[in-house]
Amino acid sequence: MLFIKTNSTMRAPSLLAVLIVLVLFSLQPDAAAASRVHHHRFGREKLTTLHFYLHDTLSGKDPTAVLVAHGANATSRPGDPTPFGSVYATDDVLTEGPERASRVVGSAQGLYVSSGKDGRLSLVMGMDFEFSDYNGSSFVVFSRNPVTVEHRELAVVGGRGKFRMARGFAVLRTHYLDTGNGDAIIEYNVTLLHY
């Protein structure tokens, strides 16, 4: 640098060049490390759509959803099976058609919490939907479910087995709801992108 005659217009580009060289040299070890990373090979991305009914049964001797925790004032609204702060554990039955006697296609295990404070029933669901038709493969929902909306959309955030790396969405419609005991049958249309 000492032997180079510089002026103010030249200094900026030459400093920039030096910086670029320094940055490239400092990146060298990282580039080497990156080339050692094991790369999984996935096939082509696939699209699968699923249609089924979920039976969420709170009543009776053999419920598929049970209250496991609730907020301080959860019992202050008699007749409301899911007041704000209620947490339910589920092993809901999934069937082909709306009737409970219809062919069972899988189960939805997980949790939902009553998350709406304004009196309109809203749940946040974290559930794994497993299907026997797909050898126990599943997709996973973690999403808000504004139950009073006629067609609501839930986010699919992952999956297992055939639905590995799944992402997508589920459109829900309430087929049946008993507002007294909370029993519900929900129609699901699910669109999945997966490998």
Ligand X SMILES: *[C@@H]1O[C@H](CO)[C@@H](O)[C@H](O)[C@H]1NC(C)=O
**Can residue 26 be called a binding residue for ligand X (CB under 6 A)?**
no
Q: Which is nearer to ligand X, 63 or 156 (CB)?
A: 156
Which burial class, exposed, middle or buried, applies to 72 when counting CB atoms under 10 A from its CB (0-12, 13-18, 19+)? exposed
**Can residue 189 be called a binding residue for ligand X (CB under 6 A)?**
yes
Residue 65's beta-bridge partner residues?
90
Give the rounded distance of the alpha carbon of 3 from its chain centre: 63
Half-sphere exposure of 16 (CA within 13 A, CB side): 5
Q: Which is nearer to ligand X, 100 or 173 (CB)?
A: 173
How many residues sit close enough to ligand X to count as binding (CB under 6 A)? 12
114-153 positions binding ligand X, by CB under 6 A? 134-135
**Can residue 52 be called a binding residue for ligand X (CB under 6 A)?**
no
**Can residue 77 be called a binding residue for ligand X (CB under 6 A)?**
no
Q: Binding ligand X by CB under 6 A: which of 14, 18, 173, 178?
A: 173
Q: Which is nearer to ligand X, 63 or 143 (CB)?
A: 143
What is the C-alpha separation between 53 and 184, in angstroms, rounded?
10
In the chain the beta strands, taken as DSSP E runs, fall at 46-56, 65-69, 87-95, 104-114, 123-131, 137-145, 152-160, 167-177, 184-194
What is the C-alpha separation between 63 and 159, in angstroms, rounded?
26
Q: Which is nearer to ligand X, 35 or 135 (CB)?
A: 135
Q: Binding ligand X by CB under 6 A: which of 17, 45, 46, 51?
A: 51
Binding stretches for ligand X (CB under 6 A):
51, 71-73, 134-135, 162, 171-173, 187, 189
